[in-house]
Structure 1
């Protein structure tokens, strides 16, 4: 199982969880090789990457983690194209050095839409005969893509879809959009969650330093603060709160959000930003909050998503309040879902005061079988059905 990491999250990233790393850890009965996506010159410098001229790998809990050469070489003065060609030219031989010369006969290349260009180029470089594509977002609808770049990415995406034995989509929104293109291979496969990790344990009752002194109730969000977060809704919630604190825990992608709205939020007396939260600490944060908020907007790339955070929230059994994403509407009998700003704000009081043990159990039951292990098993079964001569687990 050769997995291309989801751009821009290498194996060691400790700011956020993602589907590709979670799936790599969940596969059973296969030998996983994880290819780190390129992190870029700036991050490589910041994290003190060594200058290496060849691919390298380390083994982490039975996963071969592979890192690209020349990560500390800048892309300026044409060096980007040079290092790109050098990196891809070496990849085939490097995979063969790990898995043997006949690796294509027994391997599956598993890539995602999180970095369409890297997925396409990796598939081309490896020439893998069996491939699965995991479509995790409507990546072509992300803001900031120029018309020229979009045309190139659309061509790459079409090629990936054609090459794949199976292409999974995480939301019904994506299924409705893509199923008519390749109806025989597009399959709906929502994201997963580590249920045990997010279930309550006594340690989660201990105070967290970042939350010390904040007035309760704590209305909390954990995740990336980026283009799909509804900052206007957050401001309205903060303005209406007579008491308590709106806590935003996660990395801020400054270039993807409104500077004005973000500045107003950071200055608001009822809003606290904690900064990035390592994934291993996320369950503790969630169990400290009184309401778990999913403030997604209705941009196309947001509507198409299936946020990991939704399942993590539900696995805690804590009160969950979300905007009306299609992925959230599936669970409206277990969580609170508001269509517009006013309905979300009105439901906040219900989430604080009307949450019941029965509703908490409904939440946990709804995601109990949505484990990463079950998701990985289903993906492999679909691939084997599409390529019956191959056995992968």
Structure 2
């Protein structure tokens, strides 16, 4: 069977749940991974998005493992999450392009795997045999030019049309299950063997760490407006003997000026996933510094499982999903408590390390995909 994935992120540079799952479909299936379209005005805000206006002409961008095709959707009109008419117009023209691609590759009635609620308007223009909605975020809570009620309407309709719905966090699950009884909780996971190498292998210390002094508190992930910059600033100011290392791209929606002025805060930029264990190995504490709000209350932090696979101590803000792991994660209630939890984590009993690693092993992407495939096979057999 052909799987057509309408992704919420590009294949590169940050590996997310989406890529990990698509890579784990049996090799007998072709996977067409469509990166989300940019809007026609995106380059005005981010010059790096300029190539999105034309790169789709060269599709597929690349082919992986002989069965995964990476493609870029053409640019669309902006404000589709504020105005349904705009979204329908975009969907019509995207469908025309999709049908050309499907004809070129002889894709007939594929399995659709969707991540963005507004994609629901595509469904009336393209043929498919089965529909999966993998709900990974509370999309109506993102900042930007959106109409919250419209995005929630998109999601409700997509859930209702789906054969199966997956949700990554308990609060998301409770929300979308009301729209579709065939909803299952499948949290995020980790590339266990890769990240566990930080524990099992003698990895070389990164050159960037040679001039970093004191205990190292590290964060890995995209730095966007859901990251608590105030908390990082507070820690850096109160504990100047500690160094904070941040690995990941910085979004245009976050101001890090005051952090860049601090001698003990180090922005290393994005790194390929294969390189991350070498950095995390030299963290004294791994940080999950998400703000606690309606968006993050519905998140299953992927980095949580990656951190656990390394065995390193983890300190987190009090997010609902993280509270499932109070025996292996230190959870802070406020800024001062966060510092106290870091101090405790630095002196933790090493017996918790193996327990932390075992949690990550059970949550490996291989195991997550086995659960997903078993559910789909069951639902398919039941004719749902």
- TM-score band w.r.t. shorter chain: 0.7 to 0.9
Q: Deviations over 1:312-337 (max 9, x none)?
A: 00000011111111121111101211
- C-alpha deviation, 1:345, in angstroms: 1.1
Q: 1:204 to 1:263 in 2, by over 3 A?
A: farther
Aligned-partner Cα distance in 2 for 1:75–1:40: 5
Q: Is 1:274–2:268 an aligned residue pair?
A: yes
Report the CA distance shift for 1:122/1:90 in structure 2 as closer, same or farther (over 3 A). same
For 1:197, the equivalent position in structure 2 comes to 194
| In the alignment, structure 1 residue 98 sits paired with structure 2 residue 105 | yes
2:328 to 318, 328, 334: 334
CA shift digits 1:216-272 (9 cap, x unpaired) = 2110001111121111211111122141211111111132x3x3xx22211122211
How far apart, in 1, do the equivalents of 2:143 and 2:78 lie?
23
Give the corresponding residue for 2:112: 109
2:285 to 291, 303, 307: 291
Contact 2:140/2:149 (8 A) holds in 1:
no
Deviates more, 1:171-180 or 1:315-324: 171-180
- What is the rounded CA distance, in whole Å, between the counterparts of 1:90 and 1:25 in structure 2? 24
Offset at residue 49 of structure 1 (A): 7.4
Which of 19, 22, 36 lines up with 2:17 in the alignment? 19
How has the CA–CA distance of structure 1 residues 219 and 181 changed in structure 2, closer, same or farther, with 3 Å as cutoff?
same
1:199 partner SS: helix
Q: CA deviation at 1:127?
A: 3.2
Residues 32/69 of structure 1: CA separation in 2 closer, same or farther (3 Å cut): closer
CA positional deviation for 1:203: 6.3
Query: Which residue in the other structure is 1:210 paired with?
Result: 208
* 335-344 vs 324-333, greater mean Cα deviation: 335-344
Which residue number corresponds to residue 132 of structure 1?
132
Indicate if the aligned counterparts of 1:204 and 1:288 stay in contact, CA closer than 8 A. Answer: no
Distance 1:245 1:4 in 2: 40
**Distance in structure 1 (CA, Å) of the matches to 2:263 and 2:312:** 25
Write out aligned runs for 1:321-360 (5 A).
Answer: 321-354=315-348, 356-360=349-353
Which secondary structure does the structure 2 equivalent of 1:34 belong to? strand
Could you tell me how far apart the structure 2 residues matched to 1:266 and 1:215 are? 16
Secondary structure of residue in 1 paired with 2:325: coil
Find the aligned partners of 2:162 and 2:139 in 1 and give their Cα distance: 18
SS where residue 33 of structure 2 aligns?
A: strand
Distance 1:265 1:365, change over 3 A: same
Instruction: Kindly indicate whether residue 357 of structure 2 is the aligned counterpart of residue 364 of structure 1.
Output: yes
**Structure 1: runs of 5+ lacking an equivalent:** none
Out of 285, 291, 308, the position equivalent to 1:314 is 308
Stretches of structure 2 lacking an aligned partner (at least 5 in a row): 80-85
RMSD: 2.9
Task: Please name the residue that 2:7 is paired with.
Answer: 6
Verify: 1:32 aligned to 2:60, yes or no: no
- Greater alpha carbon shift after TM alignment, 277-286 vs 189-198: 277-286
| Aligned pair partner of 1:385 in 356, 378, 384 | 378
TM-score, length-scaled by structure 1: 0.85
Question: How many angstroms does 1:155 deviate by?
Answer: 2.4
> How far apart are the structure 1 equivalents of 2:270 and 2:133?
29
1:193 is paired with a residue whose SS is coil
Q: What is residue 67 of structure 2 aligned with on the other side?
A: 63
Moved more, 188-197 or 230-239: 230-239
TM-score (norm 2): 0.86
Q: Distance in 1 between matches of 2:332 and 2:304?
A: 14
In structure 2, the CA distance between the partners of 1:83 and 1:192, relative to structure 1 (3 Å rule), is same
Cα gap change, 1:333/1:30 in structure 2, threshold over 3 Å: closer, same or farther? Answer: same
Cross-structure match for 2:368: 375
> 2:190, 2:365 within 8 Å by CA — same for their partners in 1?
yes
